[in-house]
Amino acid sequence: MNMEPAMEDRRSDEVLARILIVDDEPDIRESLKEILEDEGYQVLLAASAAEAEAVRREQRVDLVLLDIWMPGEDGISLLKRWAARGLEPPVVMMSGHGTVETAVEATKLGAYDFIEKPLSLDKTLLTIDHALEAARLRQENVDLKRQARPVSAPSGDSLAAAHLRQQLERVAQSDSWVLLSGPPGSGKEVAARYLHAHSRRAKGPFVDLKAAAITQPNIAVELFGSEQEGQVHSGRLEQAHRGTLFIDEIADMDLETQARLLSALQEGRLRRVGGMVPVQVDVRVVAATCRDLRAEMQAGRFREDLYYRLNVVPLRVPALAERRQDIPLLVAEFVRFYGERDGLSPRRFSPAALEVMSHYPWPGNVRELQNLVERLLILSEGPEVSGEEVERALGLDNRAAISDMEADEFSGTLKVARDKFERAFIEYHLARNGGNIARTAEAVGLERTHLYRKLKSLGIPY
């Protein structure tokens, strides 16, 4: 194979990407493999369409160099089949007998580019660079649209917020698993994303799995992927290859899935549901919970080996009530976010409004504050949010009536009083949301599963 000299030596100790070369000529496969490995890429080889399918079932690849003319199934036919299933990695076609019509057909089917043999090394490397960069930018754009967040870091000047940021930055330098604990709505996902952004895996994907939102029969497929009748579905673990997998409410996983997860991560490989061949994965796990995992473990609901594996680096995300001085900054960030994302008119929160917020207990934490700001931006009028508006939105506008209550209204223990308040608070939001559990859970700042438990404990019908 004739190849011109490379533009420059780009060798690196870091594996840049995983490239699959599909070509029936052994000399071309091996020459390309040697060159690309010198450039820092990890290279997989296939001599036919059937071998290429087998490799893609076993490994996640970032780019395919696909020859058009091969014995048996040719490259265009294979490309058509991949396109019908949803083309995932970018494909660059190669041919020594290329025509304009063939190149046009390949690009219509989704191929990124077409290069002719004998291959020019400069052009080949440049095409690979551009294809990988285009795929990265496309995925980044999808992620940004799907994961647009009002807060990208544990914001605030409080000691609690500053301490959490320092801990996350320190832990990010290692590759240890991390367990984030804290009450619902306190910002555990924000903390996980901040940790990922400051880690060596920052250029890799950040993939989240909300265990509480997935029914038990489906969680294995979501996590490990599946193979059925030639169709391959990549699970969250594969999607997070060379990046971070964030598992929210990991205690909601059943014991069998916990065991399978631990085994996959310790061995660095997994088996898809219905698959026979193990797939290699390199993933860092950041898990989150609002429960006491030690108590869950002692009750037999959480695996002991997984608990101790996660608990190597435990970090606690503080409740909003522990960092009240951060409320003005968070409010400003939410106002800016909803203005940019939804076009909501910015409004200034008056000192009286911020004062009311600073004394509210925030049972739903940062999530409840975010929902409140959005609601006030949508429903309120005028350039400024008053203290009275905040009180009404929080259901605190009946404080004057409290002074007229009979003394027996204040009898009983604090727990009884708290239960009465929680019951009234949840019933109010249930009524306001027409009995819809999902919207009520969001409004009060609870995960849906925890709201169900609260309804049951308070005897509220649903």
Phi, psi of 314 (to 5 degrees): -90, 135
Q: Place domain 409-462 in its CATH homologous superfamily.
A: Homeodomain-like (1.10.10.60)
Specify the pLDDT at position 5: 42
Tokens 């190597």 -> residue: 312
Q: Place domain 18-144 in its CATH homologous superfamily.
A: Response regulator (3.40.50.2300)
8-state DSSP, 173: T
Specify the pLDDT at position 244: 95
The tokens for 126 are 């440049």
Phi, psi of 4 (to 5 degrees): -75, 160
What class is the 322-397 domain?
mainly alpha
**Measured between alpha carbons, how far is 376 from 372 in angstroms, rounded to an integer?**
6
The tokens for 46 are 């296939």
- Which of 138, 66, 140 is closest to 107 using CA atoms? 66
Domain positions in the chain are 18-144, 159-316, 322-397, 409-462
* Contact indicator for 16, 39 with CB cutoff of 8 Å: yes
According to CATH, the topology of domain 159-316 is Rossmann fold (3.40.50)
pLDDT at residue 345 is higher than 90: no
More confident residue, 185 or 231: 185
Q: What is the pTM of this model?
A: 0.63
Q: Which of 212-221, 271-280, 436-445 has the lowest mean pLDDT?
A: 212-221
* Contact indicator for 221, 235 with CB cutoff of 8 Å: yes
Specify the pLDDT at position 263: 92
pLDDT at residue 9 is higher than 50: no
**pLDDT one-digit tens code per residue, 63-72:** 999 998 888 8
pLDDT above 90 covers what percent of the chain?
42
Specify the pLDDT at position 69: 86
Residue spans of beta strands (DSSP E) within 182-254 = 206-210, 226-228, 231-233, 243-248
pLDDT above 70 covers what percent of the chain?
87
**Beta bridge mates, 6:** none
Specify the pLDDT at position 4: 45
**Measured between alpha carbons, how far is 427 from 392 in angstroms, rounded to an integer?**
16
Specify the pLDDT at position 411: 59
More confident residue, 451 or 400: 451
**Measured between alpha carbons, how far is 394 from 373 in angstroms, rounded to an integer?**
11
Do the domains at 18-144 and 159-316 have one common CATH topology?
A: yes
Q: What share of the chain is helix, strand, coil (3-state, %, to 5)?
A: 50, 15, 35
**Overall average pLDDT of the 154-163 stretch:** 92
**Overall average pLDDT of the 237-252 stretch:** 92
**pLDDT one-digit tens code per residue, 69-127:** 888 888 889 998 888 776 678 999 998 776 667 777 888 888 888 888 888 888 899 99
**Measured between alpha carbons, how far is 35 from 39 in angstroms, rounded to an integer?**
6
pLDDT at residue 373 is higher than 80: yes
Specify the pLDDT at position 397: 62
